[in-house]
Amino acid sequence: MAELRASFPPGLKDVIVLDNTLFINAALKDLTITLLQAIGLVVLIIFVFLQDWRTTIIPSIAIPVALIGAMIGMQALGFSLNQLTLFACVLATGLVVDDGIVIVEAVSTKMAQGMRPLQASLDAMSELSGAVISTSVVLLAVFVPVTFFPGTTGIVYRQFAYVIIFSIIFSTFNALTFSPTMSALLLRPQQESRGPLGAFFRALTGGLTGLRGDIVVLLLSSQKPRFW
């Protein structure tokens, strides 16, 4: 408009009646804040339930790795940051940490049995590599068909599906390579936390153990014998 404004006849002025960029910029800002909140909540929940900062770091690193991989895939396919792609990034923050958590827990369990960190990582990966790949393939089987949707609906949801697919692929690669390596380097035999944080962890563990026992009792009591 600045270039056209120079050729306007005297007395003619241009006025912006509707500017959709204001809404789009506000929506992208809100989604960016939501993405940061989702990352913070995921890391906090991992720390609360794993109860150790070393075991929290390893699966948490999977989040930026997966998101960076998704951005690389978006750039390669010519996609842009919009509401759907950012929403897919928000959803991916909860999907990409599962494999890392499973690997860290397996390594920690084997270290508690007396294994050294390197041997525990190798032994855990020999058992979990197939499971990690199979779970990722199952997730991909859900989102890959979305990329073949026809028409305008397919155009809209194709970007969403590709972001999830790229994040799953990169998180799987991270779980098979980086997570066991970092587990061998960072993990130590877990010690009981002290102070208020330790008291909170013990109360949480006791509450979850009691709740699990109540659920088991409830399920067993609900099974009535059948007579044929």
How far apart are alpha carbons 168 and 92 in whole angstroms? 8
Domain 23-188, architecture per CATH:
Up-down Bundle (1.20)
Kindly provide the b/e burial profile for residues 32-51, where b requires at least 16 CB atoms within 10 angstroms of the residue's own CB: eeebeebbeebbeebeeebb
Rounded CA-CA distance 215/227 in Å is: 25
* pTM score of the predicted model: 0.73
Per-residue pLDDT at 137: 92
Q: What is the pLDDT of residue 228?
A: 47
Q: Which residue has 């709740």 as its token pair?
A: 211
CB 42 within 8 A of CB 97: yes
149-203 tens-digit pLDDT: 888 778 778 888 898 999 889 888 888 888 888 888 887 776 665 667 667 767 7
Q: Which two tokens stand for residue 154?
A: 């397919």
Percent of the chain with pLDDT over 90: 3
pLDDT at residue 216, rounded to an integer: 63
Distance CA 32, CA 46 (A): 21
pLDDT higher for 228 or 101? 101
Domain locations along the chain: 23-188
